[in-house]
Amino acid sequence: MIFPFLSILHSPVKTEQFSPQTYAKVMGIIFLISIITGVFGEIYVPGSFIVSGDASATAFNLKSSEFLFRLGFASYLIEALCDITLTFLLYVLLRPVNNELALLAAFFRLVSTATFAIAEFFYFSSSAILNNPGFLKAFSVEQQEILIQLFLNLYGAGGIIFMVFIGVASVLFGYLMYKSRYFPRIYGALLLLGGAGFILKNFMYVLAPVYSSDLLMIPMALLVFSLPPWLLSKGINMNKWEEMKLQHSQSTTL
């Protein structure tokens, strides 16, 4: 095989170098870091300088809070690294339930991370307009402000696409978590419902914005603030894990 490490995608679940309980604990830590950096970089920082419908005020706030802006982008980079790691951990922990579905969910989650990386490119590029001498000479102040607003709008549009992809991944991972029995079923249900809420909210935002309610985010909010503490304190049910691993190994040898 040209890429030996890819054999994990098709191999039976064997005894891992690290125990599933260790993976679960690490997942709890990474999840917490992702939440903290995500809230700061994606909610607090943009909310501190973006003024809806006012390109001039947005540009002024951006210029006067450039360090905060850059700190927010740095937080996103940390969150992106955490998201990639979480995708791996979710796949490793849930592939005994159904390897193909876990792999599909992992692909959707990685695509969502890549999509948001593109959105963040537009977000970070908006600050370059204010610091690039070429832009300052070639465009008037009003044109610069409009260009900044355009980049931020593209950032927002990219966020919509991201939410749909991660919504699909969450539905799949939530289903697997619910079926696993070594995770509490309530968390699988919340992840599934949260993913469905992401999909519905963003499709409604595109098709009928008036019906795009933040109430659809409640299941995911409940999950992200309750699952990490559970993983850190309880982890997974190892008896159920061993049962599922045995079933998976038997099915792959048939």
Per-residue confidence in pLDDT tens, the chain, 254 aa: 444 444 445 544 554 567 899 999 999 999 999 999 999 988 898 888 888 878 888 888 888 888 898 999 999 999 999 999 999 999 999 999 999 999 999 999 999 999 999 998 888 888 877 777 666 677 777 888 888 888 888 888 888 999 999 999 999 999 999 999 999 999 999 999 999 999 999 999 989 988 888 899 999 999 999 999 999 999 998 888 888 877 766 665 55
Residue 220 is assigned to a structural domain of this protein? yes
Residue 9 is assigned to a structural domain of this protein? no
Residue 4 is assigned to a structural domain of this protein? no
Residue 149 is assigned to a structural domain of this protein? yes
Residue 5 is assigned to a structural domain of this protein? no
Amino acid at 118: I
Residue 108 is assigned to a structural domain of this protein? yes
| pTM, to two decimals | 0.85
Cα atoms in the 13 Å half-sphere on the side-chain side of 98:
14
* CA 228 – CA 223 distance, rounded (Å): 8
* C-alpha dist (Å) from residue 19 to 2, 15, 42, 98, 242: 28, 8, 33, 19, 11
Phi, psi of 20 (to 5 degrees): -55, -35
